[in-house]
Amino acid sequence: MAVETELRFKLDARRVRAILADPRVAAGLRRQPLSSIYFDTPEFTLAGRRAGLRLRRIGRRWVQTFKCELPDGSEHRRGEWEWPVPRAAIDFDLLTETPLAEWFAKPRNRDALRPVFETRFTRASALIEHEGTSIELAIDRGNVVAGERSEPILELELELKDGPVDGLYAFALELNATHALMPESRSKAARGFLLSTGATPAPMRAPKMQLDGDATAEQAFVSVMLNCLAHLQGNVAGARLGEDPEYVHQARVALRRMRSTLVTFRRAIPRLASDPISIEARQIASALGMARELDVFEQGVLAPLAAAGHATRLAGAQERLVELRAQARQQAADALSAPGCTAFVLHFLRWIDRAPWRTLPADVAMADGTERDATERPELQRQKTAIRRFAAGMLDRRHRAVLAMGGRPSALDPEARHELRIAVKKLRYAAEAFAGLHAGKAEKAAGAYLAAMARLQQSLGILNDMETAARLVASGQGSPFDGALDEAGLALLAGWRLGVCSATIEDADRAWTRFRDAGRFW
C-alpha cells in the first residue's frame, strides 16, 4: 500500500493562467488527457465506507486503483493501491491486498458493482522541488459525468512524491499567499457520487465519530481534530455564499468543537503546543458571531412576531436587520475566504503532522527551577494511554463539573445559566466523540445520555438567545438596533422574550432532571 498525501484547491481561469505562468511550473509542464470510470453498488456501499474503485485510461494504458480513508480520518491522506491492467475490466484478484478484501471476495458483491460515473479531464502537471521535497503540481480541467448530469472540474492538486511533508505545506502556503487558493474538501470521487445521486449540497453536520477502541489518546486526538476540520471545510463554501444561514452555524460549531477538543485533551496535549491553532480558530469564529446572532434574532423573535401580525410595528427593525445582516454576512464570508482561511487549514494540517505536543522547549523548567527531563513529563505518558481509560477519566471530570454548577436552571441567574450552557456543550462534544467506543447496552446508554444533554443544551440555548436579543435591541450608542424601534416596539419584544423564557425555563428544569438522572455510559 502507498500512502497518498495530497492537497486539493478550487481554481478559476485567472488563477490557472497565473499558476501555469510560474517559471517553476512552465519549465517542466506536460499535458495529458485522462479518463476514469468509478464503480460502486446501487446502494453506494464503497462510498459509504469512504472507499473508491476506479479504472483510469492513460493514453493506451489502463490502471486499476483502489483508495480508502486511513484510520486517522484524514481527508488529505489516503491509502492507495494501484495496478496496471490489460483492459477496461476490474481484476478482483488484485483487490485481495486491500482492507476490503473479504468484501470483494463475495460473488454477490462483485456482481453488484457497476459503473456509476466518469471523470474526463486534461491534466497539466509539473514536478516541483521545494525545500528538499518533490511535489507533483497538477491542474485538472474537464468534467465529472453521471448519466445525463455533468459538473465542471477545475482544480489544483499538490501531491507529495518524495521528501518531508513539511515542504508540501510550505509550498502550498507560498502559492496561497500569491494566488489566494481555496481548498477543495471533496475528491473527484466524492463529487461524482454526489452527482450520481442527484442530491444537492446541504449544510454539513458533524461527521459521526468512530474511534478505534485500541487507539491511544494521541491517536484519538488526531482523529477527532481531523473530524472537526472536515466539518468546517464541509460548510465553508456554503457559508461564503451566504444563502443558507445554517452553513455559518455549522462552521461555528466546527470551530467550537475544535477548540473544545483541545481543552478535552489538555492533559495529554499541553496548551503550549495547542494555543496557536486555538487562537486562529477563535479569530475565525469571532468573525462569524454577528451573522449567527442576527440570524437567530430574526428566526426566533422578529419572524414569529411578524407572523403573529406585528410586522408593521417591527418594520424599522426589519429594515435595520437587512442592513446589518449584509454587513455581517460579508464579514463571515471574508473570514472564510482565501488566503486567510486557507492558511488556517494548511497551518492546521502542518501542525497535525509536526505533532509539537511531543516536544517541549528547553527553557521550560520544573517548579524548583531545574531543567525538566522529557521522560518526567506526564503528558507524554498520557498520550500513550488507551483512549477508553483516558475518555472515562475525562468524562467523569466534566460530568461532575456540570453537576457542581448548580441545580435547576430556574434557580440560576442568566450569567450562571450561560456558564452552565457552555459546560454542557463541551461535555456533549466530548461524549459524542467517545460514544462510539461503546457497544451493546453501553451504546444504548450513550444514546440516552446524549439525548438528555441535547435537550438540556437546546433549552439553555433558547434562553441564551433571548438574552442576546435583549442585548441587540438595548438602547444606547453601540447597540445594533438602537433607534430602530419605538417604545411600543421595544415593549412588544420584551413581552415576547418574557413569554418564551417562561415556557422554556420549565422545559430546561425538566431537561436538567432528565440529565441528572441519566446513567453514565462510560
Exposed e or buried b per residue across 146-164, where buried means at least 16 C-beta atoms within 10 angstroms of its C-beta: beeeeeebbbbbbbbeeee
Show the cell assigned to 173. 502556503
The model's confidence at residue 366, banded by pLDDT at 50, 70 and 90, is very low
What CATH fold (topology level) applies to the domain 2-200? Hypothetical Protein Pfu-838710-001 (2.40.320)
Q: Give me the pLDDT at residue 476, please.
A: 75
Q: What is the mean pLDDT of the chain?
A: 93
Show the DSSP H helices in 298-413 as ranges.
303-305, 315-335, 340-354, 378-383, 387-403
Between the alpha carbon of residue 253 and those of residues 55, 183, 234, 260, 425, the distances in Å are: 38, 19, 12, 10, 10
Among the listed residues 464, 453, 461, the one whose alpha carbon sits nearest the alpha carbon of residue 398:
453
Q: Give me the pLDDT at residue 374, please.
A: 55
Phi, psi torsion values for 373, nearest 5 degrees: -75, 135
CA angle 374, 378, 381 (to 5 degrees): 90
Contact 32, 125 (CB under 8 A): yes
What pTM was estimated for this model as a whole? 0.92
Residue 182 CA to residue 341 CA, distance in Å, equals 8
Q: By mean pLDDT, which of 74-83, 394-403, 411-420, 500-509 is the weakest? A: 74-83
Q: By mean pLDDT, which of 88-102, 126-140, 241-255, 371-385 is the weakest? A: 371-385
**Mean pLDDT along residues 393-410:** 94
Q: Give me the pLDDT at residue 404, please.
A: 94
Residue 300 CA to residue 503 CA, distance in Å, equals 14
Per the DSSP assignment, residues forming a β-bridge with 124 are 31, 139
Domain coordinates in residue numbering, the chain? 2-200, 208-214+223-362, 386-522
Residue 164 CA to residue 177 CA, distance in Å, equals 21
Per the DSSP assignment, residues forming a β-bridge with 137 are 126, 158
**Collapsing DSSP states into helix, strand and coil, what is residue 457?**
helix
> Is the pLDDT reported for residue 365 higher than 50?
no
The model's confidence at residue 73, banded by pLDDT at 50, 70 and 90, is low
Query: From 1.10.3210, 1.20.120, 3.40.50, 3.30.70, which CATH number describes the 208-214+223-362 domain?
Result: 1.20.120
Q: Give me the pLDDT at residue 468, please.
A: 95
Residue 83 CA to residue 225 CA, distance in Å, equals 33
